[in-house]
A and B are shown apart, each in its own frame.
Chain A
Amino acid sequence: MSGIGSGEGFWNPIVWTLLALGVLGLAYALWLQGRRTYKRGTEQEEPFLSGERLPEEGSHIRGEHLYWGFVAGLRPLIETLRAFHTGFIGDYIGWLVVVLGVAILVVML
Protein backbone atom coordinates (compact mmCIF):
# COMPACT_ATOMS: atom_id res chain seq x y z
CA MET A 1 0.00 0.00 0.00
CA SER A 2 2.87 2.33 0.73
CA GLY A 3 5.69 1.32 -1.59
CA ILE A 4 6.01 1.47 -5.34
CA GLY A 5 8.34 -0.37 -7.67
CA SER A 6 10.40 1.82 -9.97
CA GLY A 7 11.57 -0.88 -12.34
CA GLU A 8 15.05 -1.40 -10.96
CA GLY A 9 14.41 -0.31 -7.42
CA PHE A 10 11.76 0.26 -4.82
CA TRP A 11 10.50 3.29 -2.95
CA ASN A 12 8.84 2.95 0.41
CA PRO A 13 8.16 6.31 2.06
CA ILE A 14 7.07 4.77 5.38
CA VAL A 15 10.42 2.99 5.77
CA TRP A 16 12.22 6.18 4.70
CA THR A 17 10.24 8.26 7.22
CA LEU A 18 10.99 5.82 10.05
CA LEU A 19 14.69 5.86 9.13
CA ALA A 20 14.66 9.66 8.95
CA LEU A 21 13.02 9.84 12.39
CA GLY A 22 15.68 7.42 13.69
CA VAL A 23 18.47 9.62 12.32
CA LEU A 24 16.85 12.72 13.86
CA GLY A 25 16.57 10.89 17.18
CA LEU A 26 20.24 9.92 17.00
CA ALA A 27 21.22 13.50 16.20
CA TYR A 28 19.18 14.72 19.17
CA ALA A 29 20.84 12.17 21.44
CA LEU A 30 24.26 13.38 20.29
CA TRP A 31 23.21 17.00 20.84
CA LEU A 32 22.21 16.17 24.41
CA GLN A 33 25.78 15.00 25.06
CA GLY A 34 27.15 18.47 24.28
CA ARG A 35 28.29 21.25 26.63
CA ARG A 36 25.56 22.92 28.67
CA THR A 37 27.06 26.38 28.91
CA TYR A 38 24.31 28.11 26.92
CA LYS A 39 22.86 31.10 28.77
CA ARG A 40 19.58 32.72 27.78
CA GLY A 41 19.44 36.48 27.43
CA THR A 42 23.19 36.90 26.88
CA GLU A 43 25.17 37.76 23.76
CA GLN A 44 25.25 34.04 23.02
CA GLU A 45 21.74 34.46 21.60
CA GLU A 46 22.76 37.16 19.11
CA PRO A 47 23.20 36.09 15.49
CA PHE A 48 26.81 36.00 14.28
CA LEU A 49 27.35 37.51 10.86
CA SER A 50 31.07 37.33 10.07
CA GLY A 51 31.86 39.47 13.11
CA GLU A 52 29.90 42.45 11.71
CA ARG A 53 27.93 44.63 14.11
CA LEU A 54 24.24 44.16 13.38
CA PRO A 55 21.89 47.14 13.21
CA GLU A 56 19.67 47.68 16.23
CA GLU A 57 16.43 47.19 14.31
CA GLY A 58 17.55 43.87 12.94
CA SER A 59 18.52 42.87 9.44
CA HIS A 60 17.27 40.46 6.83
CA ILE A 61 19.13 39.17 3.81
CA ARG A 62 16.50 39.46 1.10
CA GLY A 63 15.77 36.50 -1.11
CA GLU A 64 17.04 38.28 -4.19
CA HIS A 65 20.54 38.18 -2.70
CA LEU A 66 20.50 34.46 -1.96
CA TYR A 67 22.71 32.36 -4.24
CA TRP A 68 24.28 35.54 -5.57
CA GLY A 69 27.54 33.80 -6.42
CA PHE A 70 25.78 30.85 -8.00
CA VAL A 71 23.62 33.08 -10.17
CA ALA A 72 26.64 35.23 -11.08
CA GLY A 73 28.41 32.09 -12.27
CA LEU A 74 25.47 31.18 -14.46
CA ARG A 75 24.93 34.74 -15.66
CA PRO A 76 25.91 34.19 -19.32
CA LEU A 77 23.43 31.32 -19.61
CA ILE A 78 20.69 33.09 -17.68
CA GLU A 79 21.12 36.33 -19.62
CA THR A 80 20.81 34.36 -22.85
CA LEU A 81 17.63 32.73 -21.61
CA ARG A 82 16.30 36.11 -20.44
CA ALA A 83 17.00 37.56 -23.87
CA PHE A 84 14.71 34.93 -25.37
CA HIS A 85 11.90 35.93 -22.99
CA THR A 86 11.26 39.26 -24.64
CA GLY A 87 7.57 39.54 -23.77
CA PHE A 88 6.75 40.33 -27.42
CA ILE A 89 3.92 38.27 -28.84
CA GLY A 90 5.66 38.16 -32.23
CA ASP A 91 8.55 36.28 -30.66
CA TYR A 92 6.15 33.89 -28.93
CA ILE A 93 4.63 33.07 -32.31
CA GLY A 94 8.10 32.65 -33.80
CA TRP A 95 8.97 30.03 -31.19
CA LEU A 96 5.69 28.24 -31.84
CA VAL A 97 6.67 28.05 -35.51
CA VAL A 98 10.04 26.59 -34.47
CA VAL A 99 8.33 23.91 -32.33
CA LEU A 100 5.92 23.14 -35.17
CA GLY A 101 8.78 22.90 -37.68
CA VAL A 102 10.77 20.54 -35.46
CA ALA A 103 7.68 18.39 -34.82
CA ILE A 104 6.85 18.07 -38.51
CA LEU A 105 10.49 17.37 -39.35
CA VAL A 106 10.67 14.57 -36.79
CA VAL A 107 7.42 12.88 -37.89
CA MET A 108 8.58 13.05 -41.53
CA LEU A 109 11.86 11.25 -40.79
Chain B
Amino acid sequence: MNILVCARRVPDTSENEIELNAAGNDIERDDLVYSVNEPDNYAVEEALQIVDRVGGNVTIVTVGGEDDEEILRREMAMGAKHAALISDETFSGSDGKGIATILKAFVEKGHYDLILTGVQAEDGAAQVGGMLAALLDYPFASLVNSIEVLDGKKLKVSREIEGGNKEINEIDLPCVLSIQTGINEPRYVGMKGIRQVASVEIPTFGASELGIDPGAVGEAAAKVKRADYFVPTPNKAAEVLEGSRAEKIDRLIELVRAKGGLN
Protein backbone atom coordinates (compact mmCIF):
# COMPACT_ATOMS: atom_id res chain seq x y z
CA MET B 1 0.00 0.00 0.00
CA ASN B 2 1.34 3.42 -0.95
CA ILE B 3 0.66 5.80 1.91
CA LEU B 4 1.10 9.54 1.92
CA VAL B 5 1.27 11.34 5.27
CA CYS B 6 0.78 15.10 5.36
CA ALA B 7 2.74 16.52 8.27
CA ARG B 8 3.48 19.95 9.63
CA ARG B 9 6.12 21.61 11.78
CA VAL B 10 4.57 23.57 14.64
CA PRO B 11 5.65 25.30 17.84
CA ASP B 12 5.75 22.56 20.48
CA THR B 13 3.26 23.51 23.19
CA SER B 14 4.81 21.09 25.67
CA GLU B 15 8.17 22.88 25.29
CA ASN B 16 7.00 26.50 25.05
CA GLU B 17 4.86 28.88 27.03
CA ILE B 18 2.84 30.41 24.22
CA GLU B 19 2.38 34.13 24.84
CA LEU B 20 1.74 37.31 22.94
CA ASN B 21 4.55 39.47 21.59
CA ALA B 22 5.11 43.04 22.77
CA ALA B 23 2.97 44.45 19.95
CA GLY B 24 0.13 42.14 20.97
CA ASN B 25 -0.65 41.08 17.41
CA ASP B 26 1.16 37.76 17.18
CA ILE B 27 2.56 35.11 19.46
CA GLU B 28 6.13 35.60 20.61
CA ARG B 29 8.05 33.60 18.02
CA ASP B 30 11.61 34.20 19.21
CA ASP B 31 13.21 31.14 20.79
CA LEU B 32 10.22 28.89 20.11
CA VAL B 33 10.99 25.19 20.03
CA TYR B 34 9.42 23.55 16.99
CA SER B 35 8.61 19.92 16.41
CA VAL B 36 6.41 17.78 14.23
CA ASN B 37 2.73 18.31 14.99
CA GLU B 38 1.96 15.56 17.50
CA PRO B 39 -1.03 13.92 15.74
CA ASP B 40 0.99 13.90 12.49
CA ASN B 41 3.65 11.86 14.24
CA TYR B 42 1.02 9.29 15.21
CA ALA B 43 -0.11 9.29 11.56
CA VAL B 44 3.41 8.50 10.39
CA GLU B 45 3.74 5.68 12.92
CA GLU B 46 0.39 4.27 11.80
CA ALA B 47 1.46 4.39 8.16
CA LEU B 48 4.69 2.57 9.00
CA GLN B 49 2.81 -0.11 10.92
CA ILE B 50 0.38 -0.66 8.05
CA VAL B 51 3.29 -1.05 5.63
CA ASP B 52 4.92 -3.51 8.05
CA ARG B 53 1.75 -5.60 7.89
CA VAL B 54 0.77 -5.43 4.23
CA GLY B 55 3.80 -4.01 2.41
CA GLY B 56 4.20 -0.80 0.47
CA ASN B 57 5.90 2.42 1.35
CA VAL B 58 5.39 5.70 3.15
CA THR B 59 5.91 9.21 1.78
CA ILE B 60 5.90 12.29 3.99
CA VAL B 61 4.93 15.66 2.56
CA THR B 62 4.78 19.11 4.06
CA VAL B 63 3.85 22.53 2.75
CA GLY B 64 6.23 25.14 4.08
CA GLY B 65 9.75 26.48 3.86
CA GLU B 66 13.35 25.34 4.24
CA ASP B 67 13.05 25.17 8.04
CA ASP B 68 10.31 22.58 7.71
CA GLU B 69 12.70 20.08 6.14
CA GLU B 70 13.78 19.03 9.63
CA ILE B 71 10.49 17.32 10.35
CA LEU B 72 10.64 15.48 7.02
CA ARG B 73 14.05 14.11 8.03
CA ARG B 74 12.78 13.22 11.47
CA GLU B 75 9.90 11.23 9.98
CA MET B 76 12.25 9.60 7.47
CA ALA B 77 14.39 8.55 10.41
CA MET B 78 11.27 6.82 11.75
CA GLY B 79 11.17 4.75 8.57
CA ALA B 80 9.41 6.71 5.84
CA LYS B 81 10.99 5.94 2.45
CA HIS B 82 10.28 9.21 0.69
CA ALA B 83 9.70 12.83 1.57
CA ALA B 84 8.77 15.96 -0.33
CA LEU B 85 8.79 19.62 0.53
CA ILE B 86 6.18 21.74 -1.21
CA SER B 87 7.36 25.29 -1.13
CA ASP B 88 6.59 28.42 -3.09
CA GLU B 89 6.38 32.10 -2.25
CA THR B 90 2.88 32.23 -3.69
CA PHE B 91 1.69 29.75 -1.03
CA SER B 92 2.21 32.07 1.90
CA GLY B 93 -0.95 33.19 3.65
CA SER B 94 -2.95 30.21 2.38
CA ASP B 95 -5.99 29.27 4.43
CA GLY B 96 -7.08 25.67 5.00
CA LYS B 97 -8.55 25.39 1.52
CA GLY B 98 -5.36 26.81 0.03
CA ILE B 99 -3.24 24.16 1.77
CA ALA B 100 -5.67 21.43 0.73
CA THR B 101 -5.53 22.70 -2.88
CA ILE B 102 -1.72 22.55 -2.84
CA LEU B 103 -1.74 19.02 -1.38
CA LYS B 104 -4.31 17.87 -3.94
CA ALA B 105 -1.96 18.88 -6.76
CA PHE B 106 0.83 16.87 -5.12
CA VAL B 107 -1.40 13.82 -4.58
CA GLU B 108 -2.35 13.83 -8.25
CA LYS B 109 1.31 13.63 -9.25
CA GLY B 110 1.61 10.25 -7.52
CA HIS B 111 -0.37 7.10 -6.84
CA TYR B 112 -1.46 6.82 -3.24
CA ASP B 113 -3.90 4.29 -1.83
CA LEU B 114 -4.18 6.01 1.50
CA ILE B 115 -3.59 9.56 2.68
CA LEU B 116 -3.19 10.32 6.38
CA THR B 117 -3.12 13.63 8.23
CA GLY B 118 -3.01 14.40 11.93
CA VAL B 119 -6.42 15.25 13.34
CA GLN B 120 -5.46 18.88 13.88
CA ALA B 121 -2.51 21.23 14.19
CA GLU B 122 -1.80 24.11 16.56
CA ASP B 123 -4.65 26.20 15.18
CA GLY B 124 -7.14 23.52 16.23
CA ALA B 125 -9.02 23.80 12.95
CA ALA B 126 -9.04 20.09 12.01
CA GLN B 127 -9.82 21.02 8.43
CA VAL B 128 -7.17 20.12 5.85
CA GLY B 129 -7.82 16.36 5.68
CA GLY B 130 -11.56 16.73 5.13
CA MET B 131 -11.01 19.45 2.54
CA LEU B 132 -8.38 17.43 0.69
CA ALA B 133 -10.70 14.42 0.57
CA ALA B 134 -13.54 16.54 -0.82
CA LEU B 135 -11.27 18.11 -3.45
CA LEU B 136 -10.12 14.63 -4.52
CA ASP B 137 -13.61 13.14 -4.21
CA TYR B 138 -12.19 10.49 -1.88
CA PRO B 139 -14.04 9.18 1.17
CA PHE B 140 -12.92 10.67 4.48
CA ALA B 141 -12.99 9.76 8.15
CA SER B 142 -11.82 12.00 10.98
CA LEU B 143 -10.58 11.19 14.49
CA VAL B 144 -9.46 7.72 13.47
CA ASN B 145 -8.11 5.63 16.34
CA SER B 146 -7.64 2.25 14.67
CA ILE B 147 -7.13 0.98 11.14
CA GLU B 148 -7.49 -2.55 9.84
CA VAL B 149 -6.73 -3.36 6.21
CA LEU B 150 -9.57 -5.60 5.00
CA ASP B 151 -8.32 -6.10 1.44
CA GLY B 152 -6.75 -4.04 -1.30
CA LYS B 153 -9.95 -2.07 -1.71
CA LYS B 154 -11.19 -1.17 1.73
CA LEU B 155 -10.31 -0.55 5.36
CA LYS B 156 -12.13 -0.96 8.63
CA VAL B 157 -11.56 2.15 10.70
CA SER B 158 -12.64 3.18 14.15
CA ARG B 159 -13.44 6.81 14.97
CA GLU B 160 -13.29 8.36 18.39
CA ILE B 161 -16.73 9.70 19.29
CA GLU B 162 -18.21 10.85 22.60
CA GLY B 163 -17.86 9.12 25.94
CA GLY B 164 -14.93 6.93 24.91
CA ASN B 165 -17.16 5.11 22.40
CA LYS B 166 -15.92 4.07 18.99
CA GLU B 167 -17.72 4.37 15.67
CA ILE B 168 -16.73 1.57 13.31
CA ASN B 169 -16.83 2.22 9.58
CA GLU B 170 -15.81 0.54 6.38
CA ILE B 171 -14.16 2.90 3.95
CA ASP B 172 -13.15 2.43 0.33
CA LEU B 173 -9.63 3.08 -0.91
CA PRO B 174 -8.25 5.47 -1.89
CA CYS B 175 -9.33 7.59 1.06
CA VAL B 176 -8.16 10.27 3.45
CA LEU B 177 -8.09 9.67 7.21
CA SER B 178 -7.31 12.14 9.98
CA ILE B 179 -5.49 10.37 12.78
CA GLN B 180 -6.16 10.92 16.48
CA THR B 181 -3.38 10.81 19.07
CA GLY B 182 -3.14 7.59 21.07
CA ILE B 183 -3.81 5.32 18.05
CA ASN B 184 -0.36 3.77 18.55
CA GLU B 185 2.91 4.35 20.35
CA PRO B 186 5.17 6.31 17.99
CA ARG B 187 8.66 4.90 17.86
CA TYR B 188 11.55 6.75 19.36
CA VAL B 189 13.87 8.59 17.01
CA GLY B 190 17.43 8.98 18.21
CA MET B 191 20.15 11.29 16.98
CA LYS B 192 21.73 8.35 15.20
CA GLY B 193 18.64 7.79 13.12
CA ILE B 194 18.45 11.44 12.19
CA ARG B 195 22.15 11.47 11.22
CA GLN B 196 21.55 8.55 8.88
CA VAL B 197 19.09 10.58 6.82
CA ALA B 198 20.87 13.93 7.23
CA SER B 199 22.26 13.96 3.70
CA VAL B 200 19.31 12.43 1.86
CA GLU B 201 18.20 14.73 -0.93
CA ILE B 202 14.62 15.85 -0.33
CA PRO B 203 12.86 16.98 -3.49
CA THR B 204 11.13 20.35 -3.45
CA PHE B 205 8.09 21.16 -5.55
CA GLY B 206 6.80 24.63 -6.35
CA ALA B 207 3.59 25.93 -7.87
CA SER B 208 4.73 25.50 -11.46
CA GLU B 209 5.98 21.90 -11.00
CA LEU B 210 2.64 20.97 -9.50
CA GLY B 211 0.57 22.95 -12.00
CA ILE B 212 -1.01 25.06 -9.27
CA ASP B 213 -2.70 28.28 -10.30
CA PRO B 214 -1.11 30.86 -7.98
CA GLY B 215 -4.45 32.69 -7.94
CA ALA B 216 -6.13 29.71 -6.25
CA VAL B 217 -3.81 29.64 -3.23
CA GLY B 218 -1.97 32.04 -0.95
CA GLU B 219 -3.19 35.13 0.78
CA ALA B 220 -5.15 36.55 -2.16
CA ALA B 221 -7.31 33.43 -2.43
CA ALA B 222 -7.76 33.00 1.33
CA LYS B 223 -11.31 33.58 2.50
CA VAL B 224 -10.35 33.03 6.10
CA LYS B 225 -7.65 35.21 7.64
CA ARG B 226 -6.44 35.68 11.17
CA ALA B 227 -6.56 39.37 12.06
CA ASP B 228 -4.70 39.24 15.37
CA TYR B 229 -4.06 37.30 18.55
CA PHE B 230 -5.14 38.36 22.01
CA VAL B 231 -5.03 37.10 25.57
CA PRO B 232 -8.16 35.07 26.38
CA THR B 233 -10.46 36.59 28.98
CA PRO B 234 -10.71 34.37 32.04
CA ASN B 235 -14.16 32.91 32.72
CA LYS B 236 -13.58 33.13 36.44
CA ALA B 237 -11.32 35.29 38.58
CA ALA B 238 -9.30 32.59 40.26
CA GLU B 239 -7.84 33.09 43.71
CA VAL B 240 -4.13 32.96 43.02
CA LEU B 241 -2.32 31.38 45.94
CA GLU B 242 0.88 33.21 46.80
CA GLY B 243 3.62 32.78 49.34
CA SER B 244 5.76 29.79 50.21
CA ARG B 245 4.74 26.32 49.12
CA ALA B 246 3.78 25.48 52.72
CA GLU B 247 1.55 28.57 52.88
CA LYS B 248 -0.10 27.67 49.58
CA ILE B 249 -0.73 24.15 50.80
CA ASP B 250 -2.31 25.31 54.06
CA ARG B 251 -4.59 27.73 52.22
CA LEU B 252 -5.50 25.05 49.69
CA ILE B 253 -6.41 22.56 52.40
CA GLU B 254 -8.58 25.22 54.03
CA LEU B 255 -10.38 25.92 50.75
CA VAL B 256 -10.83 22.28 49.80
CA ARG B 257 -12.13 21.49 53.26
CA ALA B 258 -14.67 24.33 52.99
CA LYS B 259 -15.89 22.84 49.72
CA GLY B 260 -16.40 19.44 51.29
CA GLY B 261 -13.45 17.86 49.53
CA LEU B 262 -11.71 16.84 52.73
CA ASN B 263 -13.19 15.40 55.88
Note whether A and B form a binding pair.
no
List residues of chain A with CB under 8 Å of any chain B CB. none
List residues of chain B with CB under 8 Å of any chain A CB. none
